[in-house]
Amino acid sequence: MPVKFRVNGRQVEVDVEPRLTLADCLRHHLRLTGTHVGCEHGVCGACTVIVDGAAVRSCLMLAVQADGAEIVTVEGLSSDAELTPLQKSFRKHHALQCGFCTPGMITTAHALLSEEPDCDAARVREVLSGNLCRCTGYIPIVEAVLDARAAYQPKAGTRDRGGDRA
């Protein structure tokens, strides 16, 4: 089936089986391998992407359901030139080790901070509870997200925070 959507600001068109998940479509058809697959049953959060402004599990969406949607992946939340404030905060706080859960964490955190730049530690932990990490023990990730709140305050320019296309 043909499917058309926008990813990271770019219009794409693919022809896929209905059963192909959005995660697999992004990874293998569009070669956006930053979104990771950790469980394929909607628990680990490594596959988190932003669809029409909301963080979702791309392993639980079919690519065909993305027709007409606006999708942002971790690649769209990054820039070649420099790490974004959120990414810098992760690095500063050592909020990643093996890196496998990291795109999901970054994407979820970006979605949260975009909506709730004043979220507190409890809210950050609540929202990140849907993203599993086996390396860090979460504490540095929570610290990194809290430390990045400043970049999402209304007075900070939108260009600073989201890479090129968020």
Partner 1 sequence: MRTVNSLIGSPIERFEDLRFLRGRGEYVDDLAARNDMLHAAILRSSVAHGRIRSIDVAAARALPGVHNVITAKDMGNRVPRVPMRLQPLPEFERFGQPVIAENKVRYVGEALAVVLAGTAGIAEDALGLIEADIEPLPAVADRHASAAEASLLFEEVGSNLAMRFRALRGDASAAFAGAPYIRRERFRTQRHMALPMEPRGLLAEWDAARGRLTVYGGAKVLFFNRRTLAKQMGLPESAIEIVENDVGGGFGARGEFYPEDFLIPFAARLTGRPVKWTEDRREHLMCVNHAREAECDVEIACTREGTILGLRGHAYVDVGAYMRTNGAVGARNVAQFMSGPYRIPNIDIDVALQLTNKTPVGTYRGPGRFETDFFRERLLDMVAQDLGLDRVEFRRRNLVSQREMPYQLATITPFESKDELDSGDYHATLDRCLHEIKWSDKSKLAGKLIDGRYHGVAVGCFIEGGAAGPKESARIVLELDGRYSVYVGSSAIGQGLETVFAQIAADALEVTIDHIRGVFHGSTSYVGDGYGAYHSRSVVMGGSAILDAATKLREAIRTQAAQRLACQPSEVEIVDGVKAVGPGGKSIGLNSISDAGISADGAFLNKKHTYTYGTHAAHVAVDPKIGHVELLDYVLVEDCGRIINPMTVHGQAIGSLVQGLGGAMMEHLVYDQEGQLLTGSLADYLIPTASDFPNLRAIVFGNHPSPINPLGAKGAGEGGIIAAGGVMANAVANALSALGVEPRELPLTPTRIWELVQAASSNKQSV
Partner 2 sequence: MKLPPFDYACPATLPEAVQLLATHDGEAKAVAGGQSLVPMLAFRLAQPTLLVDLRKLADLRGIRISEKGATLGAMVRWRDIEDDDRLDIAHPLLKAAIAHVAHYQVRNRGTIGGSLAHADPAAEMPGIAITCDAEIAVVGKSGARVIQAADFFQGALTTALTPDEIIVEVRLPAWPKGRRWGFEEFARRRGDFAMAGAAVFYDQDENGKARNAHVGVIGVADRPLRLPSVEDVLNGRIIDQAAIGAAEAATCAAVDPQDDIHASAAYRRALVGTMVERALQRAAARPQQ
User: Binding partner of residue 112 among partner 2, partner 1, none, CB under 5 to 8 Å per kind?
Assistant: partner 2
What string marks each residue from 42 to 81 as x (binds partner 1 by CB under 8 A) or -?
A: -xx-x--------------------------xxx--x---
User: Binding partner of residue 85 among partner 2, partner 1, none, CB under 5 to 8 Å per kind?
Assistant: none
- Residue 129 beta carbon to partner 2: minimum distance, rounded to whole angstroms: 5
Of 100, 152, 98, which is closest to residue 124 (Cα–Cα)? Answer: 152
Among 8, 21, 35, 73, binds partner 2 (CB under 8 A): 21
What per-residue string of b and e applies to 59-82 under the rule 16 or more CB within 10 Å gives b? bebbbbebeebebbbbbbbbeeee
Q: Is 130 in the site for partner 2 (CB under 8 A)?
A: yes
CA atoms within 13 A on the CB side of 135: 11
Residue type for position 75: E
Name the β-bridge partners of 3: 14
Q: Is 106 in the site for partner 1 (CB under 8 A)?
A: yes
What is the distance between the alpha carbons of residues 28 and 26, in angstroms, rounded to a whole number? 6
Among 25, 30, 59, 145, binds partner 2 (CB under 8 A): 59
Smaller CB separation from partner 2, 45 or 162 = 45
What is the distance between the alpha carbons of residues 78 and 162, in angstroms, rounded to a whole number? 7
User: Binding partner of residue 98 among partner 1, partner 2, none, CB under 5 to 8 Å per kind?
Assistant: partner 1
Q: Is 125 in the site for partner 1 (CB under 8 A)?
A: yes
